[in-house]
C-alpha cells in the first residue's frame, strides 16, 4: 500500500502520497506542486493515514476529478493470479476480495464465473464501484471487523491491504479473514510488498513459502493521479497462499 513508496532512494525518489494528500487537504483540496525535495512522512505516519477511510475517500474523490478510473496495485491483476486461483477454486465458488478499491480484479473474477463479494472501508469507492458494476456485491466495511457470517467463503483475496495495516493489527486481521473462510479447505491469497511472518497469520492458517511475483516500481508524480509504473523497473512482490 504505502510502505514500498518510501524506498529506492537515489535514482528514483517516490513521493509520499500521504504527505501530498495532507497538504492538498490543508490547501482546500487544491494540491500544491511537488518536487523531490518535499517533506517526507515516516512509514508509521503514512500507515496511520492509510488506515483512515476519510483519507481514501478524499483520495478517490480528488483523483477521480482528474480522470482516475481504475488502478491495479503493484501492477498485478487477475491475469497474473489466474493460474493460482484455478488451482484452488472451482467455478461459482464464493470469493471475498478485501480492500478492493477501484481494481478490476473483482469484475474480472466475476466474468470467469466466481461468486465475488468485495469490501472496502471507503464508502466513496464502494459507491463508485456499485455504479460501475451494479450486478456485483460491493460492501463498505472494515476487513478487520466484517459484518459477515462465519465460514462463507472458499477463498479470501488480499492484494495490498495488509501493507496498509499497522503491524500490531495483522494477527487479528488474519484471524478475522479465517473466521469468514471455510473452516476446512478455505484459501487465503495475499499479495504484499512486505514479507509477512508466521506470527502474523497465527496457527489457524497453514501457509506455504512465499512466492515472488515481479512487477514494476510505482512512484507518485502528483497527488492528482495514482502512482505510475516506471518503465524498465522490476520489483519483487510477495504472494503468500494459506489454507485452513
pTM: 0.82
φ/ψ of residue 134, rounded to 5: -65, -15
Q: What's the CA gap between 193 and 3, in Å, rounded?
A: 8
Specify the pLDDT at position 97: 98
**With left for phi above 0 and alpha for psi between -120 and 50, is residue 165 left, alpha or beta?**
beta
Specify the pLDDT at position 76: 94
* CB 19, CB 26: distance < 8 Å: no
- Kindly state the average pLDDT of the residues 53-69: 90
- Kindly state the average pLDDT of the residues 70-80: 93
**Cα atoms in the 13 Å half-sphere on the side-chain side of 84:** 23
Neighbouring C-beta atoms of residue 105, cutoff 10 Å: 25
**140-180 confidence digits (pLDDT tens):** 999 999 999 999 999 999 999 999 999 999 999 999 999 99
* CB 107, CB 62: distance < 8 Å: no
Q: Is the pLDDT of residue 123 over 70?
A: yes
Helices (H), 133-240: 161-164, 170-180, 198-201
**217-235 confidence digits (pLDDT tens):** 998 888 899 999 999 999 8
Specify the pLDDT at position 50: 79
Q: What's the CA gap between 159 and 157, in Å, rounded?
A: 6
The β-bridge partners of 228 are: 219
Amino acid at each position: 500500500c504505502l510502505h514500498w513508496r518510501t524506498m529506492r532512494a537515489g535514482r528514483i525518489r517516490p513521493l509520499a502520497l500521504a504527505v501530498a494528500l495532507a497538504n492538498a487537504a490543508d490547501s482546500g483540496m487544491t494540491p500544491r506542486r511537488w518536487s523531490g525535495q518535499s517533506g517526507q512522512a515516516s512509514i508509521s505516519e503514512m500507515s496511520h493515514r492509510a488506515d483512515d477511510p476519510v483519507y481514501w475517500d478524499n483520495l478517490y474523490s480528488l483523483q477521480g476529478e482528474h480522470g482516475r478510473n481504475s488502478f491495479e496495485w503493484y501492477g498485478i491483476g487477475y491475469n497474473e493470479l489466474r493460474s493460482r486461483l484455478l488451482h484452488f477454486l472451482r467455478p461459482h465458488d464464493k470469493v471475498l476480495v478485501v480492500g478492493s478499491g477501484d481494481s478490476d480484479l473483482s469484475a474480472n473474477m466475476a466474468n470467469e464465473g466466481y461468486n465475488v463479494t468485495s469490501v472496502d472501508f471507503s464508502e466513496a469507492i464502494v459507491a463508485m464501484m456499485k455504479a460501475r458494476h451494479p450486478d456485483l456485491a460491493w460492501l463498505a466495511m472494515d476487513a478487520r471487523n466484517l459484518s459477515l457470517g462465519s465460514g462463507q467463503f472458499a477463498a479470501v483475496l488480499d492484494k495490498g491491504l495488509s501493507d496498509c495495516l499497522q503491524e500490531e493489527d495483522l494477527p487479528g486481521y488474519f484471524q478475522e479473514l479465517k473466521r469468514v473462510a471455510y473452516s476446512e479447505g478455505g484459501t487465503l491469497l495475499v499479495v504484499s510488498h512486505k514479507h509477512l511472518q508466521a506470527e502474523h497469520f497465527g496457527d489457524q492458517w497453514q501457509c506455504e513459502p512465499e512466492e515472488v511475483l515481479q512487477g514494476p516500481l510505482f512512484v507518485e508524480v502528483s497527488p492528482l493521479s495514482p502512482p505510475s509504473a516506471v518503465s524498465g523497473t522490476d520489483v519483487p512482490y510477495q504472494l503468500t497462499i494459506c489454507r485452513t
